[in-house]
Amino acid sequence: MLAEDFNLPKQTHEIFSVMARGNFISSNGSKDGMNRLYDVINNPDNFDRFQAYFNVIRYNIERGNNFFYFSKLGEPNSELEKKLERFERYIDIVDLLASMDNKITIGSRFRPGEIAEECNANVRLKQKLQKIPLYRSETLHNKVREICDLMSRDSFLEMEDEKTESYKVLDAYTYLLDVINSVAIYEDTSLDNDNASGLIYN
């Protein structure tokens, strides 16, 4: 079968080069035409073609809520140690972002300065930030910057404006939230329950 038989859109190469690096393609990303790429994949006709095409080389497109990423078919997931380490770090980061007064979620915009400022004013947050391992930076601001940088490299955030250093949270952040949400805690850890009142509507 020839590549032409798949009748692929011309962005195929771009999409592959983003996702094969392990990055996400989010619908609200704007750098390098990411939202355009998202639309191309999201088109149902294209999606089936892509899936068939990439499956040949054993990549599988995984669909999340407004984002896409690759998984590998038929290969055992490896490097458990590293994975655990990374996700433990993500827990720290998500926990920090979740503890902000102005909760940072998908689509929010923020500047590292704001977070550093808030951490500086709140001992609990300050401790949280300081305890996040792996970073060499001394000042709080630089530490937050480094976190943002790391999250941008993992395509969860996107720097929108270099001058003001403002970041936007991409849809791929849902992926982290989903992972965290799927973890079940065995024992009833008697934690304070006042953080969110159980409002569930139909």
Partner 1 sequence: MALQVNIKDILSQLSQHRGVVEFLFANRENITVNELLAREDISHDQFQKLKSLDLVYEYENIVSLNDAVVSMFEDFMEIGEVTPGFINDYINELNRHIRFYQESRENRFLRSIKKYLKRINSTLTREIIKLQKNVDDTYKNEGNYRIKLQKLENFREKRDTIIDFIKKTNDVVESTRSLFSLTNDSELFGIVQALKVSLIENLDFLIEIQTDITDFINKIQFQLDVYKKAQQLKEIKDYGTLYFKSNFKEIVNGINSIKYNGHRAPKTKIAIDFLYSDDGHVLCKRISEKYKITRLMVRGLADKMAGNFKDKGLEHQIKLDTEKLVERFLEQKKSNLFEYLIEYKFPKAIGIVSFEDRLSLFVEIAMEYQNQLDFKYRLQYHDYRNNEKQNKRLGYTLILPIKEKAKKEKIKN
The residue with tokens 């791929």 is: 172
Contact predicate 107/158, CB 8 Å: no
Task: Look up residue 6 and give its two tokens.
Answer: 């798949």
Total residues interacting with partner 1, rule: CB under 8 A: 55
- Of 38, 50, 53, 175, which one interacts with partner 1 (CB under 8 A)? 175
CA 184 to chain centre: 21
202 interacts with partner 1 by CB under 8 A: yes
E strand spans, 89-183: 109-110, 157-161, 166-169
149 interacts with partner 1 by CB under 8 A: no
- Of 17, 30, 55, 130, which one interacts with partner 1 (CB under 8 A)? 17
Contact characters 61-100, partner 1, x per CB under 8 A: -x------xxxx--x-xxxx-xxx-xxx--xx-xx--xx-
The residue with tokens 């329950």 is: 193
Q: What is the CA radius of gyration of the chain?
A: 19
20 interacts with partner 1 by CB under 8 A: yes
Pairing verdict, β 25-26 and 59-64: unpaired
Of 3 and 7, CB closest to partner 1:
3
Tell me how far apart the alpha carbons of residues 76 and 91 are, in angstroms, rounded to a whole number. 24
Give the interface segment with partner 1, choosing from 34-42, 48-56, 133-141, 193-201 (CB under 8 A). Answer: 193-201
Residues making contact with partner 1 (CB under 8 A): 17, 19-23, 59, 62, 69-72, 75, 77-80, 82-84, 86-88, 91-92, 94-95, 98-99, 102-103, 105-107, 128, 154, 175, 177, 179-187, 189, 191, 195-196, 199-202
